[in-house]
A and B are shown apart, each in its own frame.
Chain A
Amino acid sequence: MSDLTLEAVDRSGAIAEAFDQLTGGTRGDFFRKALIGGAALTAVLEAPALAAPHNTAKDVAILRFDLNLEYLQAAMYSEAERLGEIRPRTLEWSRVVGANERGHVKAIRALLGRDATKSPSFNFRGVTEDDRVFTETAVAFEDLTAALLKTQATQVDSRRLLAALASLHSVEARHAAWIRHIAGIVPSADAFDEPTSKAKVVRLVESTNFVTSAPRTKRRREPRYTG
């Protein structure tokens, strides 16, 4: 699609600066496990929202990976909308696209049924509170998602899933064009888009440190409250 990646958009070091002061917390394993596929996933399984049609193991792995990406995007845009700290034009994009991404989460979860994984915890490290960094990150994610869906379309077993990926792809491409326009980048600079690999997606998601462990707020311990 393009060479506009998180590394590229972060040339000024704005995202890296926000990350530098933070300690640990990277949970790239989550996406790495999703990359490996169903057998390696240890996330807790949930009851199906709808009766899930039969999916092949390969299709389940593809859908789970997409679900994780959709979780990430939906969480980021929802947080930006809640905080309302970005510029009105970007906020409007976030409102509209956030509703789309939450819809994607719901639909993919229904499709996976019992095979759906829970959402990981996220820490967006100030990206949702800074218009420029938010816009650049959103450009990278939307370009990336559209490019990934192209790759997956050639890999799925089910024709129904192929149709589903195609319907997701065109919407993600629209998101990418819209946010590129907001960022002042030509929405369709090249005549053809290139697909991307899962490994590249994993690397980029890891580089953001957005996926974190859940805070430990419960404990087996004798209380010492005032009683």
Chain B
Amino acid sequence: MQPTRRSGLGAALAVAGLLIAAAVAVVLAAPSSRPSTAEPALPPSPSSALEPENVPLDPRPAALWAPVVARSAARSRPGGPAVVAHVPARTPEGTTNIVLVLGQSERRAGRLWVRVRVPGSPDDVRGWMPRAALGGYNPVHTRLVVSRTRLTATLLRDGRPVFRARVGIGTPATPTPRGDFYVRNQLHKYRSPFYGPLAFGTSARSATASDWPAGGFVGIHGTNRPDLIPGQVSAGCIRMVNRDIVRLDRLMRVGTPVSVR
């Protein structure tokens, strides 16, 4: 009798289990019967109007330059007594004077000093100026190389040549100085046809024209005598035909280092 009772109980449990499973299946399969309490459908997320991406820093610049905001002296050491050059805030042409920043700084007695290159004679000189005498730093990616033997000017951008022209340079008696300089300013819309349509002023100074008006600084400019180019024809300036100086103006900015070889 015992085995018969056990098998009856097992059958009853099996039937109950099947009924529960069927009920669960019906509930799950049925559509929601609670429309009043359902979460409202969210609108699609808006796509961002921006497509940002990281932008790496430009290649290492050929130079950094800064305007001179207050007349100062360049010294041989930060805060030292020896003056290597007096640096006015204006050029002889009335533009803002600029210096090349060499990327070194030191704090002395609470004052920040930076190493700079400033016009000198016969070559640019290096010294330390108070940071407070300078304005913001500006990178420049071009470098002009002038060959006195080949009578050419080549502009490099990030190391690659982007411009080349034949030039006129100083005569043997009034040579264009050899060395490392930089472009300080640009003059334009003047009357004299002698300098062509525009002229760049550099930090280079002629050794033989120190009594020249405005200190004998060397310019890079056009000409009204294109027939003399290329050649050793000037009092120290670098001349090129007007078409070339206009082309150079589109490519070269103030602060560009100039190497005369």
A residues bordering B, Cβ < 8 Å? Answer: 17-18, 21-23, 25, 53, 78-79, 81-85, 95, 98-100, 102-108, 110-111, 121-126, 128-130, 158-164, 166-168, 212, 215-227
| Known A99-B56, A129-B112, A225-B219; contact A216-B47, beta-carbon cutoff 8 A | no
Cβ of B103 within 8 Å of any chain A Cβ, yes or no, is yes
Q: Which residues of A contact B95 (CB under 8 A)?
A: 216-219
Q: Which residue on A lies nearest to B137, using beta carbons?
A: A79
A167 and B214 contacting across the interface, CB-CB below 8 Å: no
12 new A-B contacts at CB < 8 Å, known A167-B52, A221-B94: A18-B112, A18-B132, A22-B69, A81-B57, A82-B137, A103-B55, A121-B136, A123-B135, A130-B112, A212-B135, A220-B188, A220-B189
Q: For the complex, what is the distance from the CA of A158 to the CA of B46, rounded to whole Å?
A: 10
| Known A22-B69, A99-B57; contact A215-B135, beta-carbon cutoff 8 A | yes
A107 and B50 contacting across the interface, CB-CB below 8 Å: yes
B199 and A225 contacting across the interface, CB-CB below 8 Å: yes
Q: For the complex, what is the distance from the CA of A124 to the CA of B135, rounded to whole Å?
A: 8
Q: Which residues of A contact B56 (CB under 8 A)?
A: 99, 102
Q: Which residue on B lies nearest to A95, using beta carbons?
A: B57
- Expressed in whole angstroms, the minimum distance between the Cβ of B144 and any Cβ of chain A is 15
Q: For the complex, what is the distance from the CA of A104 to the CA of B237, rounded to whole Å?
A: 44
Contact count A vs B, C-beta below 8 Å: 187
Q: Which residues of A contact B52 (CB under 8 A)?
A: 100, 103-104, 106-107, 167-168
B93 and A224 contacting across the interface, CB-CB below 8 Å: yes
What would 5 A/B residue contacts be, using CB atoms closer than 8 Å? A17-B110, A106-B55, A126-B105, A218-B187, A220-B188
- Expressed in whole angstroms, the minimum distance between the Cβ of B245 and any Cβ of chain A is 12
Cβ of B114 within 8 Å of any chain A Cβ, yes or no, is yes
User: Which of B1-9, B14-22, B34-42, B190-198 lies at the interface?
Assistant: B190-198
Most chain-B CB neighbours within 10 Å: which of A22, A110, A227?
A227
B114 and A129 contacting across the interface, CB-CB below 8 Å: yes
Q: Which residues of A contact B98 (CB under 8 A)?
A: 215, 217
Contact of B209 among A125, A164, A226 (CB under 8 A): A226
Q: Which residues of B contact A225 (CB under 8 A)?
A: 195, 199, 201, 214, 217-219, 221, 237
Q: Which residue on B lies nearest to A226, using beta carbons?
A: B236
Q: For the complex, what is the distance from the CA of A160 to the CA of B103, rounded to whole Å?
A: 43
Q: For the complex, what is the distance from the CA of A103 to the CA of B55, rounded to whole Å?
A: 5
Q: For the complex, what is the distance from the CA of A68 to the CA of B93, rounded to whole Å?
A: 33
| Known A53-B49, A129-B112, A217-B186; contact A224-B213, beta-carbon cutoff 8 A | yes
B187 and A103 contacting across the interface, CB-CB below 8 Å: no
- Expressed in whole angstroms, the minimum distance between the Cβ of A155 and any Cβ of chain B is 15
- Expressed in whole angstroms, the minimum distance between the Cβ of B41 and any Cβ of chain A is 17
Q: Which residue on A lies nearest to B215, using beta carbons?
A: A224
Cβ of B108 within 8 Å of any chain A Cβ, yes or no, is no
A129 and B105 contacting across the interface, CB-CB below 8 Å: yes
Q: Which residue on B lies nearest to A13, using beta carbons?
A: B110
A167 and B135 contacting across the interface, CB-CB below 8 Å: no
| Known A219-B185, A225-B199, A226-B216; contact A22-B132, beta-carbon cutoff 8 A | yes
Cβ of B206 within 8 Å of any chain A Cβ, yes or no, is yes
A162 and B237 contacting across the interface, CB-CB below 8 Å: no
Contact of B206 among A99, A122, A130, A226 (CB under 8 A): A226
Q: Which residues of A contact B47 (CB under 8 A)?
A: 160, 163
Q: For the complex, what is the distance from the CA of A224 to the CA of B192, rounded to whole Å?
A: 11
Q: For the complex, what is the distance from the CA of A105 to the CA of B54, rounded to whole Å?
A: 10
Q: Which residues of A contact B190 (CB under 8 A)?
A: 220-223
Q: Which residues of B contact A100 (CB under 8 A)?
A: 52, 54
- Expressed in whole angstroms, the minimum distance between the Cβ of B256 and any Cβ of chain A is 11
B204-231 contact mask (Cβ, 8 Å, vs A): 1 or 0 = 0010010011101111010000000000
Q: For the complex, what is the distance from the CA of A215 to the CA of B138, rounded to whole Å?
A: 11
Cβ of B76 within 8 Å of any chain A Cβ, yes or no, is no
